[in-house]
A and B are shown apart, each in its own frame.
Chain A
Amino acid sequence: MNIHLAAAATSPGDPILNISIFGAFVAITLIIVVRASRNNKTAADYYAAGRSFTGGQNGTAIAGDYLSAASFLGIVGAIAITGYDGFMYSIGFLVAWLVALLLVAELLRNTGKYTMADVLSFRLKQRPVRIAAAITTLVVCFFYLLAQMAGAGGLVALLLGINDKLGQSVVIVVVGALMIVYVLIGGMKGTTWVQIIKAVLLIAGAAVMTVWVLALHGFNFSTLLDAAVSTANNPEILNPGLKYGLNDITKLDFISLALALVLGTAALPHVLMRFYTVPTAKEARRSVVWAIWLIGGFYIFTLVLGYGAAALIGADRILASPGGVNSAAPLLAFELGGPVLLGLISAVAFATILAVVAGLTITAAASFAHDIYASVVKKGNARPEDEVKVARRTVIIIGIVAIIGGIGANGQNVAFLVALAFAVAASANLPTILYSLFWKKFSTQGAVWSMYGGLASAILLIAFSPVVSGTETSMIPGADFAIFPLSNPGLVSIPLAFILGWLGTVLDKVPRDIAKQAEMEVRSLTGVGAEKEAVDH
C-alpha cells in the first residue's frame, strides 16, 4: 500500500518539459489555423472547409479525428492490463470502416451539403426528420465530448503531476478554452489542419515506439509475448477471456460491444461531416481508403505497444500510477526514451484530445445552426452569414458545456464512455442512414420512430445498466436500479431501431415523394448536382 501511495505521489518525467513541448504544439498549430482561416467567409468555408481538401489530406484528418485518446491511451492500456481482450477493441474499431467505405461515404457525399440531417431529410419531411437527426447528433457528440474531456483530466494527473481535482479542473478549462479558440477562428479548415498534424505526430510517435519495443526483443514478436507473460506472471494474457470471459453476462456484453463498435463508426456525425470537406465522391472514397490504412497500421502498433507495456512495465505498476490504465502508453514512452520521449508522447496525447474535441464541437455547432436554426426555425430562409454567426455562438456554448461536463466526468473510464457514444450512434443513426440510402419505400414515420426509438432505448438501457448503479464501479455506487444486466445497450437497441424503422415505414400510409426519391438515388450514385468545391477568394 505504501509503495502504491509513493508511486501515486510522483509522476515520471519533467512537468515543465511536458508543458513546453505542448505549448510549442499549440503555438505552431495556432499559427497554421490563423493562416488557414483567412478565407473563411461562406457557410461552405466554415462547415466544410470550402470542400478543398484532397482525399489523402482528409483521410489523414479522419484518422486524426478517429484515433482519439480512447484509442491511443485506452487500447494500449487495455492490452497491457487485460491482454487479448484489449486487442479486440481495435479490431472492431477498424473493421467498422468497411461499413463507411462500402455503404455510406460516397453516397452521403453526393447527396448532402453540411450535416448528416441533409441526407436523412433529403426525400422525407424536412422538419421532423431534421429535428430528430440534430438531436441524435448533439447527444452522440455530447457523450464523445465527455469522454475526451474526462480523459484530459486523467492525463494531466500523470503528466504534470497534478493530483488534486481543482488543478485538473483548471487544465480541463484550459483545454476547453483552447478548443473554442481553434474552432472559432479556424472553422472546419483550421480543425482539419490540427487533426492532420496530430495524426502525423501520433502515428509517427507510435511507429517509433513500436520499432523500439520490437528492437528490445530481437524483432521477434513471440519473444515480446513471452516477456509480457513472464512480467504478468500469467499466460492467460495472450488468450481471450481475461476481461470478458468471466461469466455468461460478460460474454454477452462483449457481443453487444462488438455490435456497437462495428456499426457505430459509419454513424458518428463528426466522422460523416468530414466527407463534405472533399470536392467529389471519389475523393471521399480515397479519404476512407487512407483512413483505413492509417488506422489499421496504428492498431497494429498499439498491439505491440500494449504487450510492450505489459512486458517492460507490468500491470501492477501501470494500475498504481496516477491515471491508471490510461497511463500505460506514457509510462512506456518514459521507460524507452526518458523524459523527452515522454514529453513528446504526452504532447501528442494532449493534441489528440484537443483535435478530437474541436472536430466534435464544429459538428455539433453545424448541426444546431444548419439543421435547427436555418432549416427549422428560419424555415430555410436564413442568410448564410447569420447561420455561420449562430454556429460560432453555438461553439462557445458547447465549449462551456464540455468544460463543465468534463469536470463532472473526470475520473470516468474513457474507452467506456466512447463505446457508449458508438452504441448510441449505431442505434439512433445507422438504421435511418441505411434505409434512406437504399430502401425506396422508407418513410418519414419510419425515420422518426427509428431515430427516437434507437436513441431512447440506448439511453434508457444505459441508465438501468450496471454502469450507472448496482456495482462498486458504477457512477452511483450507493444505489441499485440496474435491471438491465449488460453494460453496453447495442445488442438490444440496434436491432430494435432497425425494426422500428421498418415497422414505421410499413404502417405509414402517407404517399412517398417519388420525384425526390428518384433525385436522391440518381444523385447518390452519379454525383449529379453534388455540392462543388468553393472558389478561391
Chain B
Amino acid sequence: MGNVALKEEEVVVSAETFHQVQESEEFQELRKRHRSFVFPLAIAFLLWYFAYVLLAGYAHDFMSIKVFGSVNVGLLLGMLQIVSTFAITTWYVSYAGRRLDPIASKIRHEIEGPLAAATKESK
C-alpha cells in the first residue's frame, strides 16, 4: 500500500449506470452464478447441521454406538461437521476464484475506468 495515493474519493457513478449494469447480461450471469452456488450450499449445510443436532438431541443410542476403541458415532459425526465445514470453505473459495471474481472485476473495470482499475490492481 501507499505508493499509489488513492484517498477515500468516490468514483462517481451515476444511478443510470448502476441501472444499466444491473440489467446487463454480464451482471445477470454473475448474480445467477453467485446465487445458484451459495443458496443451495447454505441450505445443504444447514440441513446437515440440524440433522446432526437432532440426532444428538433425540437419538442417544445411535450416537453412543462405539465405532473403534471408545470413539462413538457421535464423536465421528461431530468431527465430520468440522471436516465438512473446512471442505465447503475450500470449495467456495475455488468456485469464487474461477467463476465469480473474473466477471466481477471485469464489470468493475468497465464502470470505474482504466485508471481506477489500475490503481486497484497494484494493491
Contacts and interface: CB of A to CB of B under 8 A. Distances in A.
Contacts of B11: 528-529
A254 B53 contact: yes
B68 A87 contact: no
A499 interface: no
A279 interface: yes
A131 to B, nearest CB: 25
Interface string B22-51: 100001001100110010011001100110
Contact of A527 (B2, B54, B104): B104
A91 B81 contact: yes
A507 interface: no
Given A88-B53, A255-B54, A102 B101 contact: no
A528 B93 contact: no
Interface stretch (A24-32, A447-455, A517-525): A517-525
Given A222-B71, A525-B31, A95 B89 contact: no
A354 B35 CA distance: 39
Contacts of B93: 285, 289
Contact of B22 (A92, A95, A522, A536): A522
Contact of A94 (B53, B82, B96): B82
B7 interface: yes
A296 B82 contact: yes
Contact of A529 (B13, B58, B104): B13
A535 B41 CA distance: 38
Interface stretch (A179-187, A239-247, A463-471): A239-247
Given A254-B57, A296-B86, A534 B8 contact: yes
Nearest to A535: B5
A125 interface: no
B69 A220 contact: yes
B7 A238 contact: no
Given A99-B42, A528-B112, A536 B57 contact: no
B2 A535 contact: yes
Contacts of A525: 27, 30-31, 34, 104
Contacts of A44: 8
A102 B92 contact: yes
Given A91-B82, A515-B19, A102 B46 contact: no
B21 to A, nearest CB: 5
Contact of B75 (A84, A529, A535): A84
Contact of B21 (A282, A515, A522): A522
Interface string A84-102: 1001100110110111011
B49 A535 contact: no
The 10 A-B pairs with the shortest beta carbon distances in the complex, nearest first, are A222-B69, A536-B2, A239-B64, A225-B70, A515-B15, A519-B18, A518-B22, A102-B38, A240-B56, A258-B53
16 contacts: A84-B56, A92-B49, A94-B85, A222-B70, A239-B72, A258-B49, A279-B1, A514-B19, A521-B22, A522-B107, A527-B104, A527-B108, A528-B21, A529-B13, A532-B7, A535-B5
Given A279-B1, A521-B22, A526-B21, 18 more contacts: A52-B1, A223-B69, A226-B70, A239-B64, A240-B63, A240-B64, A245-B57, A251-B57, A262-B46, A279-B123, A296-B82, A518-B15, A518-B21, A523-B18, A526-B104, A526-B107, A526-B111, A532-B8
Interface of B: 1-2, 5-11, 13, 15, 18-19, 21-22, 27, 30-31, 34-35, 38, 41-42, 45-46, 49-50, 52-54, 56-58, 60, 63-64, 68-72, 74-75, 78-79, 81-82, 85-86, 88-89, 92-93, 96, 101, 104-105, 107-108, 111-112, 120, 123
